[in-house]
Amino acid sequence: MADPVAMPFGDPHNAPQDAEVTRVRSLSGAWRWLLIASAALTIFLCVNQQFTLKFFVGFTPLNTEYYYALILITLPFVFVVFPASERAPIDSVPWYDLLLFVATALASMYFIANIRKAAELGWEFGGAPEALVWLGFLMWGLLMEGLRRTGGWGLVLSILPFTLYPMFAESAWLGPLRGSQSTPAQASAYHMLSTESLLGIPLQAFAETVIGFLVFGTALMMTGAGKFFINLSFALCGTFRGGAAKVCIFASAMLGMMSGSIVSNVLTAGTMTIPVMKRTGFRASYAAAIEACASTGAVLAPPVMGATAFVIAQFLGVSYAEVAAAAVIPALLYYFGLFMQVDAYAARHGLKGLPRAELPSLRKTFREGWYYVFVIVLLVYMLLVMKRESHAPFWATLLLLALNQLFNSEKWSWQTLQKFLEVNGRTFVELAGILAGCGLLIGAFSVTGVISSLANDMLLMAGNNVLLLLAMTALTSLVLGLGLTTTACYIFLAILVGPALEKAGLNKMAVHMFIFYWGMLSAITPPVAIASFAAAGIAGSPPMKTGWESMRVGSIIYFLPFFFVMNPALVLQGSWVEAIYLTLAAGVGIVFICGGIQGYQLLIGDLRRAGAMQWPLRIALMLGGIMLATPGGGIMPMSSLQMALAAVAILLPALGIAKWLLRQRVLAG
């Protein structure tokens, strides 16, 4: 296997999206060129704003003018790229979509022309001209339709009632959600002009940082990074026990760290790793589950996480580097858990690694792709040392393209550049449609001032029991995540539940990471399980069976959020000494949790040979592992030392009995 990967970059829009299977028009002719021009202009506007180029003529736009300019050049294309329904034509743009395109563009132009005056006169709080109010209603409707097309009915039905909520906020039937009421005109002006609504946190994150990282991720994949990372993974891990699955984890982790996209990660790595896993003895559904779980880490692993991480940074008012740093230990523990699950499964089923002769040469792999290392080093240095997250992806992309043209045999052509802009254009359009619509949700709660009272009400509902409130939040996040995109789910709960958890005394960063983790679990949790279903399509396995297998393989991710919210040192919000101790304790605990789940304990052996004691021993290992991995103190009634001693009291007898029983079987055999 001298060259195990030879795949073109796949447009993620040809694949299932976050919440459902979304049809996307394949544009040609003038529409395709308009989309390419839109992408190029989006990138230029972002570079101009972040590097203060002043359009080379000394003109500096207001941030709100910049945001509306992005809306003008991306949002109209939602109605061109995403058809209105399954019956709508896919190969042409019908008259009604053209009408929506023009209406969105004209409304955006009007707001750009008036946003500076609106800021001076405070129109978002009243006194806006009648024309602006009516155009606000038009834009409101267009945003909801754009949200429906990009995120599906589930998303728009979750967001729309809350966008209308300010006009009924004083109604008695709202109970704890009662707040300050606005007139329709006030609501329209606030939604369209305030930096707390349409121009709020989601769109700001998109405009300030997400665009640059999307550009970098696309450039990385289109210069052959997928091939490099997968070949590198095969060279390093292919010969290990269950080597194909460990390659999958390693490759998907490296790709995910750069792409931030779950589904495109599955489609890039899975097309190679899943067939090899099947060939080396893994069941089709299990191979697909491993890929789904490994690719899900794409939104969890820094330096390039998904769009939600940038929204978290905006919500918390911190740099993206802080969010990325907070994600390091949880991501490491997650991938370590996957690795141990696979190792135990391979050991139990006697699955070997791949012959060295079939694997790519490590030396040749590095010789062909060494320059990716320099690009990643530059990106990480600018993010974590220079703290220039808005500049970092652009400089990294520039270096990557220069090195690609110098050292890669497959150099970019004019056609490659067109494809690059087209792929980015589709991504920009989709994210703009989702994030702009979701911004209205924040605006609704901001203008009514209901958040602080709602936090008190939630604490009262939970009886001031923080663990119960966390359990309620986890369940709500999981349920909402089944119908919403990860970003929309996070925004929804960061507004509604986040303040209550913070008021209960929990660390702010840990709270938002907790909500984020539970909101994205729908990627591997049936009935949605979009990552599992995408992997099942490659493996040829039943989708629902793959979803349930994914839950089992990725089970550690259901525990991790509780670990770091109980002790924020795991998200680097405490001392380094404590962080190291908790990481080591969690790592050892994960070894026992995985051993119990898979029925094969490292250094002990196959627990099936323990006969009738197999399940009691497995349960004891899982229970002891959870207690060892769970931080004590804080909201826990036991200290970390007490938790560790309790874990040892469970694990030592279980391990001793397992060792003795397995030795007896060997002697008897």
| Average pLDDT over every residue of 484-505 | 84
Structure confidence at residue 17 (pLDDT): 36
Q: Is the pLDDT of residue 9 over 60?
A: no
Q: Is the pLDDT of residue 129 over 90?
A: yes
Q: Torsions phi, psi of 524, nearest 5?
A: -120, 5
Taking a C-beta distance cutoff of 8 angstroms, is the pair 227, 7 a contact? yes
State percent of the chain over pLDDT 70: 96
Taking a C-beta distance cutoff of 8 angstroms, is the pair 241, 352 a contact? yes
Structure confidence at residue 75 (pLDDT): 96
The CA-to-CA distance between both ends of the chain, in Å, stands at 40
| Average pLDDT over every residue of 382-386 | 87
Mean pLDDT, the chain, rounded, equals 88
Structure confidence at residue 483 (pLDDT): 67
Long-range contacts of 598-604 (CB under 8 A, 24+ apart): 598/341, 598/344, 598/345, 598/348, 599/344, 599/348, 600/344, 600/345, 600/347, 600/348, 601/344, 601/655, 601/658, 602/340, 602/343, 602/344, 604/655, 604/658, 604/659, 604/662
Give residue-wise pLDDT tens across range 27-57: 889 999 999 999 999 999 999 999 999 999 9
Structure confidence at residue 494 (pLDDT): 87
Buried b (16+ CB within 10 A) or exposed e, 260-280: bbbbbbbbbbbbbbbbbbbeb
Q: Is the pLDDT of residue 8 over 60?
A: no
Which of the two residues, 19 and 277, has the higher pLDDT score?
Answer: 277
Give residue-wise pLDDT tens across range 614-660: 999 999 999 999 999 999 877 788 888 899 999 999 999 999 999 99
Alpha-carbon dihedral sign for residues 631, 321, 150, 109: positive
Q: Is the pLDDT of residue 6 over 70?
A: no
Query: What is the C-alpha to C-alpha distance for residues 490 and 443, in angstroms, rounded to an integer?
Result: 15
| Average pLDDT over every residue of 287-302 | 89
> What pTM does this model have?
0.86
Structure confidence at residue 189 (pLDDT): 94
Taking a C-beta distance cutoff of 8 angstroms, is the pair 489, 495 a contact? no
| Average pLDDT over every residue of 253-260 | 80
Structure confidence at residue 669 (pLDDT): 60
| Average pLDDT over every residue of 431-444 | 90
Structure confidence at residue 230 (pLDDT): 87
Query: What is the C-alpha to C-alpha distance for residues 401 and 405, in angstroms, rounded to an integer?
Result: 6
Query: What is the C-alpha to C-alpha distance for residues 289 and 291, in angstroms, rounded to an integer?
Result: 5
Cβ neighbors of 52 (< 8 A, separation 6 or more) are 60
Query: What is the C-alpha to C-alpha distance for residues 164 and 158, in angstroms, rounded to an integer?
Result: 11
- Provide the pLDDT confidence category of residue 302 given band limits of 50, 70 and 90: confident
Q: How far is CA 58 from the centre of its chain?
A: 38
Q: Is the pLDDT of residue 7 over 50?
A: no
